[in-house]
Amino acid sequence: MNDRVTVKTDGGPRRSGVVLAVEEFSEGTMYLVSLEDYPLGIWFFNESGHQDGIFVEKAEQD
């Protein structure tokens, strides 16, 4: 939690955010990510074993 990440959204560039919560499932991992226009967080799902199903990635350090 509190990791800086980027998220893939429809039709735009990756957006920066902060992980608020993580839930593990057999099919993948759910991340609650705080974004500028969703400060309370929005859920994103990373699907295990499918590169196209990866929406949350750790942000690169500056």
Per-residue confidence (pLDDT) for residue 38, from 0 to 100: 95
Q: Domain range for residue 52? A: 4-58
pTM for the complete prediction? 0.88
Tokens for 18, please give them. 């902060």
Instruction: Using alpha carbons, list the distances in angstroms from residue 6 to 26, 36, 44.
Output: 23, 12, 11
pLDDT in tens, 2-23: 999 999 988 789 999 999 999 9
Q: CA separation (Å) from 37 to 24, 29, 42, 51?
A: 25, 22, 10, 26
State residue 31's pLDDT score: 98
Number of domains in the chain: 1
